[in-house]
Structure 1
Amino acid sequence: MNKLLFFTIAVTLITSAAQATTEEAQNRANRIAKALKKQNIQFREKYWHGLLKYKGSTTIKTTLKAGTQYVLVAGGCEDARDIDIIVYDENWNEVGRDTKVDAVPVVRVKPKWSGNFHIKVQMSNSTRNGAHYALIIGYK
């Protein structure tokens, strides 16, 4: 087998595996969202996703409006054992968190003012290689 063909096959397999775990993370989050939709919560079409190292985290900046109830839902792939979400206002004051030991955290926040908020997604426990996550935001 020539080197180019081998490289193409390897890249295809790696890409497929990564996509499958990202899709699995999104599917877990969407299962929770489906149940929440029965409570008249609508979800933004945009979602955030990625691969987090074991004990790693990422922070997402988004705008939230005063008086609106938000529900933040994350899901992890099969390699995720515990994902946490912590929400901060623009001054980095904590306004909400879910630190239960699970791979599908849910946080509800209702900001008192409109502004930029920071959402920290923490991979608290996973396989040594880390795990994929997906985060979606609902509102009512």
Structure 2
Amino acid sequence: MPLIGTGRVWPGKSEYYEVVLRAYVTYSIYVLPDRSSVDFDVRVYDENGNLVAYDVAPDADAACTITPRWTGGFRIFVDSARGMANYTLSIQP
């Protein structure tokens, strides 16, 4: 499931994607903006609303890894801490 989606966010705006992840598979999640002058963040929540992975570093792109303990639904949020840009969200198992 490499490409999950594309979109556009700006400060104060979030977009999210719902995905099903398999138990005990390590996933790398990447948010790649089309501009280097932004600061994008990524947050991953499990089906119970618990924050399970995130990257809020002051970099243009965002990346994190997750190894779920169970197969289930997860929400991946893409946020902009600074700037507006288009982005691509991908997941690599």
When normalised by structure 1's length, the TM-score is 0.63
- Paired amino acid for 2:89: L
Q: Please identify which structure carries the higher strand content.
A: 2
Deviations 1:50-106 (A, max 9, x none): 111333110110000000000000111226510000000001101100010111111
Q: What is the total number of aligned residue pairs between the two structures?
A: 93
Tell me, which stretches of 5 or more residues in structure 1 are unaligned?
1-43
Question: In terms of Rg, which structure is larger?
Answer: 1
SS at match of 2:38: strand
Q: What residue is the counterpart of 1:138 in the other structure?
A: 92
Structure 2 contact 3–89 (Cα < 8 Å) conserved: no
Q: 1:79 to 1:54 in 2, by over 3 A?
A: farther
Matches within 5 A, 1:25-104: 44-78=1-35, 80-104=37-61
| TM-score (norm: length of structure 2) | 0.92
Residues 80/50 of structure 1: CA separation in 2 closer, same or farther (3 Å cut): farther
CA-atom RMSD in angstroms? 1.3
Cα deviation, 1:26-52, whole Å, max 9, x if unaligned, reads xxxxxxxxxxxxxxxxxx343311111
Q: CA, structure 1 residues 45+87, in 2 after alignment: closer, same or farther (shift >3 Å)?
A: closer
CA 1:80–1:122 in 2, change beyond 3 Å: closer, same or farther?
Answer: farther
Q: Which residues of structure 2 form unaligned runs of 5+?
A: none
- Greater relative CO (CA pairs within 8 A, separation 6+): 2
The percent of aligned pairs where both chains have the same amino acid is: 29
d(CA) in 2 for partners of 1:47, 1:62? 8
Q: Which consecutive segments of 4 or more residues in structure 1 shift more than 6 A?
A: none
